[in-house]
Structure formats: structure tokens, C-alpha cells
Amino acid sequence: MVLVALVAANFGLSDNPAHRNFEAMPEMVRTIAYKSFSANPDFPDGKTLQLPPEGAIPRQPDHVVTHPGALVYQTYCQPCHGGAGKGDGPVALRGFPPPPSLLAEHAMKLSGNQIFQIVSHGQKNMPSYAVQVPPQDRWAAVSYIRTLQGDAQR
């Protein structure tokens, strides 16, 4: 059985990188991508763009998903500051000194420029993110922090 598998692999796989290997199901690799409003023979009505299934519950847009700074915040800020900005991220929960809450009164009084400077140059235990995060992404993170602060005030 092992010998048969080795022989099949020898004939099916190429050691030449310019030559493609054997494809068992090529239709899975080369699927047809239909444009939204083009005809589609795979559906009974012939349309590519379909209505949601009956009974589907539409999801409301969420600022966490739609805000341009959300991904930046989740990547660089959330590990310490937490998802809601309370200073309760996983890093703080593992014994490191917790960062200040972004929802505290003193943080809400900071200007956007002051927050940008802290992110860019660091402060106390927080390192500088000037190298890792481009300026436009730092500003997007500042905007997202303002969104979190606004949500906390409601």
C-alpha cells in the first residue's frame, strides 16, 4: 500500500518548479467569479446577485467593523487597553502594569493631537509605535478611540 502511494506521488508530483503538479480537482482551483449583475446559470432565476434567504436577520453595521481605525486599534492597542479601552487587555490581565483607561476623565480631556503624540512617541510603560504604524493609521486609531469614548458616554 505504501509502495503504491509512493509510486503515485512520484508520477503525480514534479520536482521541476516550472512544471505544474497534478491537480485532482481543477474546478475547485479555477472557480468562475461572476460579476454581481451578470447572468449566472447556476441559479434558477439566472441572477448572480441573490436576495438573502427567507428568515435571515440583517446585521446592523457595527462601528467596530466599519471604522477604519478599528483594525489598527485591535492590532496595536487592544492587547493592553482592552476591546472597550478600559485598560483590561490580555497583557494587563497577565500581570503587567495596566495602562490607564481610555475612558477615564483625564483621557477624554486629551486632544486628538496629544493622543497621536502618545501613540507616536510613547509614554511611561507604553512604547512608541511610530515605526510600526504609519501616521494615517495612527490618526485612524485616534479617531476610533474617540468613538469608544463617545460610546462610553452614552
Is the confidence at residue 14, as pLDDT, over 60? no
Residue 117: inside a domain? yes
Q: What is the DSSP string of 110-138?
A: S-HHHHHHHHHH-BTTBPP-TTTS-HHHH
**Count of other CB atoms within 10 angstroms of residue 138:** 22
Contact present, 147 and 67 (Cβ < 8 Å) = yes
Tens digit of pLDDT for each residue in 61-93? 555 567 889 999 999 999 999 999 999 999 988
Residue 119: inside a domain? yes
Residue 120: inside a domain? yes
Is the confidence at residue 46, as pLDDT, over 60? yes
At residue 81, what are phi and psi to the nearest 5 degrees? -85, -15
pLDDT for residue 150:
87
Per-residue confidence band for 11, with pLDDT thresholds at 50, 70 and 90: low
Residue 102: inside a domain? yes
Dihedral sign, Cα of residue 63, residue 136, residue 101, residue 74:
positive
Residue 47: inside a domain? no
Report pTM.
Answer: 0.58
At residue 105, what are phi and psi to the nearest 5 degrees? -60, -45
CATH of the domain at 106: 1.10.760.10
Residue 16: inside a domain? no
pLDDT for residue 63:
56
Residue 54: inside a domain? no
Residue-range definition of the domain harbouring residue 91: 63-153
Residue 148: inside a domain? yes
Looking at the 3D structure of the chain, how many domains does it have? 1
